[in-house]
A = this chain, B = another copy of it.
């Protein structure tokens, strides 16, 4: 007799698992239920529909070959039944049935299953603030949200918008509103910098600077207190610091896994209440699989269960579940946490742990930010690329890497190369130093920026020099009257002298002149040295060390990192 499978949830993982299962076992009787009208859409594309870059919303629920994925499509082409507008109310694991309700007719019934798949996804986290139910306050998780937001933008009634939450969905939305609709957009973020959950401060500030340059207002360290309305529609967002006028508010404050059904059925939950699954994507009931934004899987770096709701993981997990439903034995190894986002000029990408995450997980770790050219320095077209590498002291194990560059795909290349290695081995700094990424001058440097990041971390770990972050360097400068630090700018004469002429106490000693000017450098004061990217300053500090000047801190990332972070205005 044909195996009966019920899949609950129809956005990403559900249809993927169902299609894969039917491909391998065409006789399966599979029913997918979803409480919404629309199913199987590219949720990650919603900001691009809001912006207008994607013209028709159906593009988000079409196959690569331009067929709309509606229930009829799945029936005809994939061989399974979709019941949309149908809610799962409970699971009876003994009887192996799902109790469902048609949300239109109100009719209820029991669906029997041999295997069940929970693909219930996640819902937006809504902070419990007054006014969140006002008109024109939206999340951005469903097609309907995106349609409503775009309609509102098209109406011409929005001149000011507020995005609550500076995570990557919030920022993608802010870019869409400001760039494509010219709306005066403000991002309100509680923590000290943007994307602070997933980025180090250096790169969070680079993201911030990119948005500010493009006229997005950024309010960090700022808590939304309430949303104010007029005639039932939003008119302003009130924070603990100000009131911001807005005719449109997007709340992008993270996600909560939809795990109530699983919880009620007695399945084990993990971090953030997500459903625990094993490597086969099975819950604690071997007849029930789960995957996507509702599950907790292992973080490969830490070995602990974690939560990472990403569409790419859902798709890959869906395939594994589909194979296993059809009698296969595929596994999903867990996650390292790879992601990327395009802002205005800048793209950001990351894999593994940030320095803060690493420390929270108990690693005694350091991080180093490098800022280098992404291609051979003699090649005419090139961009700067910032990479921050996170390394455990002692073992020298690499725990993560985050980066920012205008070269979006080039950045992805570096992050994904490290992602693959993190996923399937436990690389040390030496292994990333020797990482065999492909090279030709139009693509990379012979000693590529990803290798350089590891080399610099290796030098710092070996105590070959003391690194300071751009923020720390700027703070040293600002507090120079108290700390008595001597500042050296090792850049070519022109750049350094221009700066020195404006800033008393800023000493332009180009690398080329250093050996002849060592007597200008005091031996009884701490030295802070900077250049454009950290290369000249490194060579300078080696020369100084040879001459006994050893209390030197090097601003790794150099003026480039400082400028990308928008900190150059603080050097005054």
A residues near B, CB below 8 A? Answer: 12, 16, 23-24, 26, 42, 44-45, 48, 53-54, 59-60, 62-67, 76-77, 79, 168, 172, 310-316, 319-320, 330-333, 335-336, 338-342, 347, 349-351, 372-373, 376-380, 407-410, 412-421, 423-425, 427, 430-431, 433-444, 446-448, 451, 455, 464, 491-492, 511-512, 515, 531-533, 535-536, 539, 542-543, 545-546
Contacts and interface: CB of A to CB of B under 8 A. Distances in A.
A376 B409 contact: no
A438 B339 contact: yes
A446 B331 contact: no
Given A44-B441, A312-B447, 4 more contacts: A409-B413, A409-B443, A416-B438, A425-B425
Identify whether the interface residues of A are mostly helix, strand, loop, or mixed.
mixed
A285 B380 CA distance: 43
A444 B412 contact: yes
Given A413-B413, A427-B424, A342 B42 contact: no
Contacts of A314: 446
A438 B340 contact: yes
A511 B424 contact: no
Nearest to A490: B65
Contacts of A67: 511-512
| Copies of this subunit | 2
A424 B423 contact: no
A314 B434 CA distance: 11
A343 to B, nearest CB: 10
Contacts of A539: 77
A317 B168 CA distance: 39
A438 B424 contact: no
Given A316-B451, A424-B421, A444-B312, A340 B412 contact: no
Nearest to A542: B23
A376 B42 CA distance: 9
Contacts of A350: 438
Contacts of A378: 42, 45, 48, 54, 59-60, 62
A311 B421 CA distance: 22
Contacts of A515: 76
7 contacts: A45-B379, A59-B377, A62-B377, A316-B433, A338-B437, A338-B438, A340-B443
Contacts of A492: 65-66
A439 B351 contact: no
Contact of A438 (B349, B444, B532): B349
B511 A439 contact: no
B438 A419 contact: yes
